[in-house]
Amino acid sequence: MTPPAITANHAVFLDIDGTLIDLAATPDSVVVPPDMPDILQNLMQKTGGAVAILSGRKLADIDRLLGAHLACAAEHGAVLRDPAGHVTQNVQRPAAYDNWLKILNRYAAQMPGILIEEKQFSLVVHYRRAPEHEAELGQLVERLIGASDDAVLLLAHCAFEMKPRGGDKGDALAAFMQIPPFAGKIPLFVGDDVTDEPAIRMATDLGGAGLHVKRDFANSTAAVRAWLRG
Protein backbone atom coordinates (compact mmCIF):
# COMPACT_ATOMS: atom_id res chain seq x y z
CA MET A 1 0.00 0.00 0.00
CA THR A 2 1.02 3.64 -0.38
CA PRO A 3 2.08 4.90 3.06
CA PRO A 4 -0.31 7.63 4.21
CA ALA A 5 0.89 11.14 4.99
CA ILE A 6 1.46 11.46 8.74
CA THR A 7 -0.80 13.99 10.44
CA ALA A 8 -1.67 15.15 13.95
CA ASN A 9 -4.39 12.48 13.97
CA HIS A 10 -1.87 9.65 13.79
CA ALA A 11 -0.01 7.66 16.43
CA VAL A 12 3.27 6.36 15.00
CA PHE A 13 4.95 3.14 16.11
CA LEU A 14 8.39 2.19 14.77
CA ASP A 15 10.73 -0.76 14.82
CA ILE A 16 14.46 0.10 14.79
CA ASP A 17 16.69 -2.47 13.08
CA GLY A 18 15.88 -2.93 9.41
CA THR A 19 13.26 -0.16 9.68
CA LEU A 20 14.83 3.06 10.94
CA ILE A 21 18.41 1.89 10.44
CA ASP A 22 20.09 -0.69 8.25
CA LEU A 23 20.91 -4.12 9.61
CA ALA A 24 24.56 -4.86 10.38
CA ALA A 25 26.77 -7.87 11.03
CA THR A 26 26.26 -7.50 14.79
CA PRO A 27 23.77 -5.51 16.90
CA ASP A 28 26.54 -3.20 18.15
CA SER A 29 27.87 -2.35 14.68
CA VAL A 30 24.76 -0.62 13.30
CA VAL A 31 25.11 2.95 12.08
CA VAL A 32 22.49 5.52 13.08
CA PRO A 33 21.95 8.26 10.46
CA PRO A 34 22.97 11.66 11.85
CA ASP A 35 19.56 13.18 11.16
CA MET A 36 17.68 10.58 13.22
CA PRO A 37 17.22 12.83 16.31
CA ASP A 38 15.73 15.58 14.15
CA ILE A 39 13.42 13.13 12.39
CA LEU A 40 12.07 11.83 15.69
CA GLN A 41 11.77 15.27 17.24
CA ASN A 42 9.83 16.60 14.26
CA LEU A 43 7.62 13.52 14.33
CA MET A 44 6.87 14.10 18.01
CA GLN A 45 5.85 17.66 17.28
CA LYS A 46 3.66 16.67 14.33
CA THR A 47 1.77 13.99 16.29
CA GLY A 48 1.56 15.72 19.65
CA GLY A 49 3.98 13.23 21.17
CA ALA A 50 2.21 10.11 19.89
CA VAL A 51 5.40 8.26 18.88
CA ALA A 52 6.64 4.98 20.33
CA ILE A 53 9.43 2.56 19.51
CA LEU A 54 8.57 -1.15 19.38
CA SER A 55 11.84 -3.06 19.31
CA GLY A 56 13.41 -6.35 20.23
CA ARG A 57 16.36 -4.46 21.68
CA LYS A 58 17.02 -3.82 25.35
CA LEU A 59 15.73 -0.56 26.78
CA ALA A 60 19.25 0.80 27.33
CA ASP A 61 20.18 -0.01 23.73
CA ILE A 62 17.13 1.82 22.39
CA ASP A 63 18.14 4.96 24.28
CA ARG A 64 21.77 4.63 23.25
CA LEU A 65 20.86 4.39 19.57
CA LEU A 66 18.13 6.99 19.37
CA GLY A 67 19.35 9.43 21.98
CA ALA A 68 15.86 10.16 23.24
CA HIS A 69 13.79 8.69 26.04
CA LEU A 70 10.76 7.97 23.88
CA ALA A 71 7.84 5.82 24.87
CA CYS A 72 8.82 2.32 23.88
CA ALA A 73 8.33 -1.40 24.13
CA ALA A 74 11.68 -3.13 24.57
CA GLU A 75 12.43 -6.83 24.15
CA HIS A 76 9.30 -7.34 22.02
CA GLY A 77 7.02 -5.88 24.68
CA ALA A 78 8.54 -7.51 27.77
CA VAL A 79 9.44 -4.03 29.00
CA LEU A 80 7.17 -1.01 28.48
CA ARG A 81 8.03 2.63 29.10
CA ASP A 82 5.11 5.05 28.90
CA PRO A 83 5.35 8.69 27.74
CA ALA A 84 5.83 9.83 31.35
CA GLY A 85 8.89 7.57 31.68
CA HIS A 86 7.33 4.93 33.92
CA VAL A 87 8.75 1.47 33.21
CA THR A 88 6.85 -1.78 33.71
CA GLN A 89 7.99 -5.36 33.18
CA ASN A 90 5.41 -7.82 31.94
CA VAL A 91 7.23 -11.16 32.08
CA GLN A 92 9.87 -13.15 33.94
CA ARG A 93 12.99 -14.82 32.64
CA PRO A 94 12.48 -18.41 31.51
CA ALA A 95 13.48 -20.79 34.29
CA ALA A 96 16.15 -22.39 32.09
CA TYR A 97 17.75 -19.06 31.05
CA ASP A 98 21.08 -19.56 32.84
CA ASN A 99 21.42 -23.15 31.65
CA TRP A 100 20.61 -22.12 28.07
CA LEU A 101 23.26 -19.41 28.25
CA LYS A 102 25.94 -21.91 29.26
CA ILE A 103 24.98 -24.30 26.46
CA LEU A 104 24.77 -21.57 23.80
CA ASN A 105 28.11 -20.07 24.81
CA ARG A 106 29.69 -23.51 24.57
CA TYR A 107 28.39 -23.94 21.03
CA ALA A 108 29.37 -20.40 20.04
CA ALA A 109 32.94 -21.03 21.20
CA GLN A 110 33.16 -23.80 18.61
CA MET A 111 31.51 -21.79 15.81
CA PRO A 112 33.46 -18.66 14.79
CA GLY A 113 31.10 -15.87 13.83
CA ILE A 114 28.26 -16.88 16.15
CA LEU A 115 27.19 -14.24 18.68
CA ILE A 116 25.08 -14.87 21.78
CA GLU A 117 23.24 -11.74 22.89
CA GLU A 118 22.04 -11.56 26.49
CA LYS A 119 18.95 -9.45 27.16
CA GLN A 120 17.16 -8.91 30.42
CA PHE A 121 14.60 -11.59 29.62
CA SER A 122 15.70 -13.23 26.36
CA LEU A 123 18.67 -14.86 24.67
CA VAL A 124 19.45 -14.34 20.99
CA VAL A 125 21.66 -16.48 18.76
CA HIS A 126 22.99 -14.36 15.89
CA TYR A 127 24.41 -16.24 12.90
CA ARG A 128 24.61 -13.50 10.23
CA ARG A 129 28.41 -13.87 10.07
CA ALA A 130 28.24 -17.68 9.91
CA PRO A 131 25.05 -18.70 8.06
CA GLU A 132 26.41 -22.19 7.48
CA HIS A 133 25.50 -22.97 11.10
CA GLU A 134 21.83 -22.02 10.75
CA ALA A 135 20.45 -25.56 10.58
CA GLU A 136 22.48 -26.90 13.50
CA LEU A 137 21.68 -23.90 15.69
CA GLY A 138 18.02 -24.09 14.75
CA GLN A 139 17.86 -27.69 15.88
CA LEU A 140 19.63 -26.78 19.12
CA VAL A 141 17.32 -23.92 20.13
CA GLU A 142 14.22 -25.90 19.15
CA ARG A 143 15.39 -28.74 21.39
CA LEU A 144 16.02 -26.36 24.29
CA ILE A 145 12.71 -24.57 23.86
CA GLY A 146 10.88 -27.87 23.53
CA ALA A 147 11.88 -28.78 27.07
CA SER A 148 10.46 -25.53 28.44
CA ASP A 149 6.87 -24.48 29.10
CA ASP A 150 7.55 -20.80 29.82
CA ALA A 151 9.35 -19.70 26.65
CA VAL A 152 8.87 -19.42 22.91
CA LEU A 153 11.18 -19.21 19.92
CA LEU A 154 11.19 -16.16 17.65
CA LEU A 155 12.71 -16.38 14.19
CA ALA A 156 14.31 -13.12 13.05
CA HIS A 157 16.76 -11.94 10.38
CA CYS A 158 19.70 -14.36 10.81
CA ALA A 159 18.84 -14.88 14.46
CA PHE A 160 16.99 -17.19 16.83
CA GLU A 161 15.52 -15.57 19.93
CA MET A 162 14.45 -17.51 23.00
CA LYS A 163 12.01 -15.31 24.91
CA PRO A 164 9.45 -15.62 27.72
CA ARG A 165 6.01 -16.81 26.74
CA GLY A 166 3.37 -14.09 26.56
CA GLY A 167 3.18 -10.67 24.95
CA ASP A 168 4.46 -9.33 21.66
CA LYS A 169 4.73 -6.07 19.75
CA GLY A 170 1.05 -6.21 18.84
CA ASP A 171 0.05 -6.36 22.49
CA ALA A 172 2.40 -3.46 23.23
CA LEU A 173 0.87 -1.35 20.47
CA ALA A 174 -2.63 -2.07 21.77
CA ALA A 175 -1.57 -1.09 25.30
CA PHE A 176 -0.19 2.25 24.13
CA MET A 177 -3.37 2.96 22.18
CA GLN A 178 -5.26 2.95 25.50
CA ILE A 179 -3.35 5.88 26.98
CA PRO A 180 -2.63 9.54 26.09
CA PRO A 181 -1.36 10.86 23.74
CA PHE A 182 -2.04 7.75 21.61
CA ALA A 183 -5.67 7.12 22.55
CA GLY A 184 -8.20 8.22 19.94
CA LYS A 185 -5.63 8.45 17.17
CA ILE A 186 -5.06 6.33 14.06
CA PRO A 187 -2.15 3.90 14.56
CA LEU A 188 0.62 3.58 11.99
CA PHE A 189 3.28 0.92 12.47
CA VAL A 190 6.36 0.17 10.38
CA GLY A 191 8.43 -3.00 10.72
CA ASP A 192 10.50 -5.36 8.65
CA ASP A 193 10.69 -8.73 10.36
CA VAL A 194 8.59 -11.72 11.36
CA THR A 195 8.64 -10.38 14.91
CA ASP A 196 6.87 -7.24 13.66
CA GLU A 197 3.90 -9.08 12.15
CA PRO A 198 1.77 -8.94 15.34
CA ALA A 199 2.08 -5.13 15.42
CA ILE A 200 1.39 -4.88 11.69
CA ARG A 201 -1.84 -6.83 12.23
CA MET A 202 -2.79 -4.90 15.36
CA ALA A 203 -2.37 -1.49 13.74
CA THR A 204 -4.60 -2.63 10.88
CA ASP A 205 -7.18 -4.18 13.22
CA LEU A 206 -7.39 -0.89 15.15
CA GLY A 207 -8.28 1.02 12.01
CA GLY A 208 -4.83 2.19 11.02
CA ALA A 209 -2.08 0.81 8.82
CA GLY A 210 0.55 -1.84 9.38
CA LEU A 211 3.40 -1.15 6.99
CA HIS A 212 6.25 -3.44 5.98
CA VAL A 213 9.62 -2.08 4.86
CA LYS A 214 10.03 -4.60 2.05
CA ARG A 215 6.46 -4.38 0.76
CA ASP A 216 5.68 -0.69 1.27
CA PHE A 217 9.09 1.03 1.18
CA ALA A 218 10.98 -0.97 -1.49
CA ASN A 219 13.05 -2.60 1.26
CA SER A 220 14.74 0.72 2.02
CA THR A 221 15.27 2.24 5.46
CA ALA A 222 16.12 5.49 3.69
CA ALA A 223 12.62 5.47 2.19
CA VAL A 224 11.13 4.98 5.65
CA ARG A 225 13.09 7.95 6.99
CA ALA A 226 12.06 10.07 4.01
CA TRP A 227 8.41 9.24 4.72
CA LEU A 228 8.82 10.17 8.38
CA ARG A 229 10.35 13.49 7.37
CA GLY A 230 7.21 14.12 5.32
pLDDT value for 87:
96
Rounded CA-CA distance 117/17 in Å is: 15
pTM of the model: 0.94
Backbone angles phi, psi at 20, to 5 degrees: -85, -35
Q: Which amino acid is at 57?
A: R
- The count of residues in the chain is 230
CA 78 to chain centre: 11
Supply the residues annotated as catalytic: 15
From first to last of its 230 residues, the chain has per-residue pLDDT tens of: 799 999 999 999 999 999 999 999 899 999 999 999 999 999 999 999 999 999 999 999 999 999 878 999 999 999 999 999 999 998 999 999 999 999 999 999 999 999 999 999 999 999 999 999 999 999 999 999 999 999 999 999 999 999 999 889 999 999 999 999 999 999 999 999 999 999 999 999 999 999 999 999 999 999 999 999 98
Is the domain spanning 10-90+167-229 CATH 3.40.50.1000? The answer is: yes
Q: Across the strands, what pairs with 212?
A: 191
* CATH node for 97-164: 3.30.70
Domain boundaries, the chain: 10-90+167-229, 97-164
Rounded CA-CA distance 208/168 in Å is: 18
Do 9 and 48 touch, CB atoms closer than 8 A? no
3-state percent breakdown (helix, strand, coil) of the chain, nearest 5: 40, 20, 40
